[in-house]
Amino acid sequence: MNENKRVVILSSIRSERLIFVLDTIFGQRLKVNYILSNQSNVIQGNDIVIEYNFTPSTSYPFIKAEEIIVEKNIHPDFKPAIANHEENLLIFPSVESFLGFDIFSAVFYCLSHYDAYTQTKFDEHKRVKFAEWFPRVSGLDRFPYIEIWIQKLKVFIEEQQLECISPTFKQDISFDIDHFYLISQRPLIHHIKATIKDIYYLRFFNLFKRWMIIFGLAEDPGERFFDILDYQNNEKFSFFILMKQGGKDSLNVLNEVKRKLIRKLENIGEIAIHPSYHSSQKPELISKEKKQLEEIIQDKVSVSRFHYLKFQFPNSFYHLVENGISIDKSIGYYDRCGFPSSTSLPYDFFDPVANKKLELQIHPFVWMDSQNKYYRQIDEKEEKQELIELKSLVKRYDGHFNVVFHNDSMIDSRYRLLFKFLLYG
């Protein structure tokens, strides 16, 4: 940081929301010294001053504040005004503001997941239905707008000879490990039920293949995952381990075989927890599963992503903090690619109901393999092209290209090729 020059936000506004945003923009993203003050006598000769108020009272560059930045609750019907479109889209537009909009309210709205608190429609897994999700309806999820908006502010600051330190592009590939094995290492009752179905539907080849695997005479399809890890270059992966067995959770029991495979992954990348399906309603499961995983790897676990992306705002994130989780990677769409919080870069979790920042950093992802496996009908060529364009977009704005695979997707050549393309393409 440049220690001799500062950005001064001259404002009579005091709120936790504003402090959160200023820390994010100036402290984390631009890495410049800044102060928030309502006293003009703090201004030094070489400071860069921005006035932020509801009405201007000085001749300094002015940003007109919106009420949302000082409010202490959520308005169920609130939707911000929008101007322009595509990469020029703005929310909270204002002709009085020198940037053309209230950048501080805009960043707060997006990073607080404000609209998630207004939703009343949920799917069968009690996840938000995105059909009426404002960031999607408005197009706020199509680009990393926070990076675009902050770039506008960066240009203004650097024109006044204060150098900003921008983030650099980074690719992060992670795997959700729901099942190490698809057939073996499952309880006998599962095999009996599957065998009856195979006989009933005359699927004799499936029946033969199943029992060859059970008797150890053939490789379980899930083992291909370990084969593809040989393709890796210098990248380190994150592995999110689902510990709980049962309906909607892992097919495999927690036995010594599973323990050995977890330890094997520990040598390749970072081990993280994948809190189980019911953990959002039963937070005690997070503690239990995390302790189990830590006992296996003999190390602390501090990173998570919820199984099924099933979580509740804000309670699930409080439960993570209570259990020693400092990074969560659950924020992303389950049904299509995009930027639900209008950014690809990490940010701190902020609860807009309690107006409180948590000691929890969110790492959003922009693409997941299951989006196209279960929710959309696009072919391999379209999927690859979409991934190319998405990566190029994130790179253009020096973002983090975080993508998620499931280990059992690696039985499909389509996803093995996409994985290798991301590593070497």
187 pLDDT above the threshold of 80: no
- 240-256 per-position pLDDT tens digit: 999 999 889 998 889 99
- 320-371 per-position pLDDT tens digit: 999 999 999 999 999 999 999 999 999 999 999 999 999 999 999 999 999 9
Q: What percent of the chain has pLDDT over 90?
A: 79
Residue 300: both structure tokens together: 């602390």
Average pLDDT of the segment spanning 263-284: 95
The model's pTM: 0.94
Task: Give me the pLDDT at residue 1, please.
Answer: 46
Average pLDDT of the segment spanning 148-162: 97
**Residue 209: HSE in the Cβ half-sphere, 13 Å Cα cutoff:** 10
Among 346, 340, 288, smallest CA distance to 309 is for 340
- CA separation for the pair 168, 99 (Å, rounded): 24
Average pLDDT of the segment spanning 165-194: 87
Task: Give me the pLDDT at residue 345, please.
Answer: 98
Residue 232's pLDDT band, with cuts at 50, 70 and 90, is: low
